[in-house]
Amino acid sequence: MHVTGDLEAKLTHSAAKQGRKPDELVQDVLTRYFEEETRFLEAVKRGEEALDRCEYLTHEQVGQRLQRFLQTTSVLQAQPSAPQGTAARKYCPMSR
């Protein structure tokens, strides 16, 4: 594979910062790209299948869920911090 100009400079610089060869970096980047593309296409397929089964949310339903989420988040953020000497755990709505 051959890259030129600005892209080649960026690749060389990024690989050097990571202590890697440019070829190794290209392999890793392309591997991650194709893995992500596969995940994305599978998610689209699942979404289309759900739509075919009439399993979807309307725009209004999405808005209602978002409002509930934002209200819950703002209430949790407004709670007082943990007392001295206890470990406070930061709320993260995306954590499992």
Query: Does residue 63 lie in a domain region?
Result: no
Query: Does residue 32 lie in a domain region?
Result: yes
Query: Does residue 79 lie in a domain region?
Result: no
Instruction: Give the CA count within 13 Å in the CB-facing half-sphere of 21.
Output: 3
Which amino acid is located at 78 in the chain?
Answer: A
Query: Does residue 33 lie in a domain region?
Result: yes
Range of the domain at 49: 23-58
For residue 33, the model assigns a pLDDT of: 98
Taking the C-alpha atoms of residue 93 and residue 15, their distance in angstroms, rounded to an integer, is 34
Report the pLDDT averaged over residues 29-49.
Answer: 97
- List CB contacts of 50: < 8 A, sequence separation 6 or more: 56
Q: How many domains does the chain have?
A: 1
Query: Does residue 84 lie in a domain region?
Result: no
Helical segments of the chain, H only: 5-18, 22-52, 59-78
Q: What percent of the chain has pLDDT over 70?
A: 81
Higher-pLDDT residue of 67, 81? 67
Taking the C-alpha atoms of residue 69 and residue 73, their distance in angstroms, rounded to an integer, is 6
